[in-house]
Amino acid sequence: MIYSCAYWGKALSLAQAQEAKLDLICRKLHLRPGMRVLDIGSFWGGFLRYATSHYGVEGVGISPAENQVELARTKSADLPIDFLQMDYRDLEEKYDRVVSVGMMEHVGPKNLKTFFQKCDALLSRDGIMLHQMISSNVSKLVTDPFFDWHIFPGGVLPSLAQISTAIENTLAIEVVHNFGPDYDRALLEWHKKINSKWGGIPQYDGHFRRMWNYYLLSSTAGFRTRNLKLLQIVF
């Protein structure tokens, strides 16, 4: 239930590698007790649960997905986190830190400037933000037709060029960290684990299973051949 790429380092299991990823984000953001942290996308709330539990911050997570928000609230009921079902463009408050993990792929090239302008408006005067994303080596306006139709409708992997253009005169890039090869290993772990448990999800037929495995393994090839990057960018 932890979305996007794990960070392996010295980790021996996928769970350890995902926790290492969460801690890496917290350290890059220089989190301190009492800070207010916004997670754009937030998914099932895993990052904010880790950050509030280990670094003493307060969290706000937003997502347009009702089911994700409901589950995140249930799993985080005893922690200082608010999960809201809303669009990031409707936020108005200020935050010490802003983060997104695996969300920028869904913003779209035409909306990148709007996204970063909104993030800038949400950050406190000395704020820091980190965005983790899959990135393309080539600037594109549309994605592969198979992925657009079956996997991530409307999603486009941003390039570093598109990101740097979108933030001109607004934000400063401090750190660019590519650990795409770690996604190779994470994807193979997902592939192994879900196929070992396929009998427990009978609602997904053989057609879906072939599509799912193609998605996982073709993505693995993209990272292994360095056609894809996994970036954490600190602004």
DSSP three-state, residue 71: helix
Mean pLDDT (whole number) for 94-123: 96
Q: Is 90 exceeded by the pLDDT of residue 3?
A: no
pTM of the model: 0.95
Give percent above pLDDT 70 in the chain: 100
Span 14-181+226-234 CATH architecture: 3-Layer(aba) Sandwich (3.40)
Give percent above pLDDT 90 in the chain: 94
Distance of CA 13 to the CA centre of its chain: 20
Residues 152-163: tens digit of each pLDDT: 898 999 999 999
pLDDT at 180: 97
* pLDDT-derived band at 144, boundaries 50, 70, 90: confident
* pLDDT-derived band at 231, boundaries 50, 70, 90: very high
What sections of 76-129 are H helices per DSSP? 112-122
Task: Name the amino acid, one letter, at 13.
Answer: S
Residue 160 burial by CB count (10 A; 0-12/13-18/19+): exposed, middle or buried? middle
Q: Is 90 exceeded by the pLDDT of residue 200?
A: yes
pLDDT at 49: 98
Query: What are the boundaries of each domain within the chain?
Result: 14-181+226-234
Are the beta carbons of 125 and 102 closer than 8 angstroms?
Answer: no
DSSP three-state, residue 126: strand
Residues 17-43: tens digit of each pLDDT: 999 999 999 999 999 999 999 999 999
Q: Which helix (H) or strand (E) holds 224?
A: helix 206-224
Q: Is 90 exceeded by the pLDDT of residue 2?
A: no
* pLDDT-derived band at 191, boundaries 50, 70, 90: very high
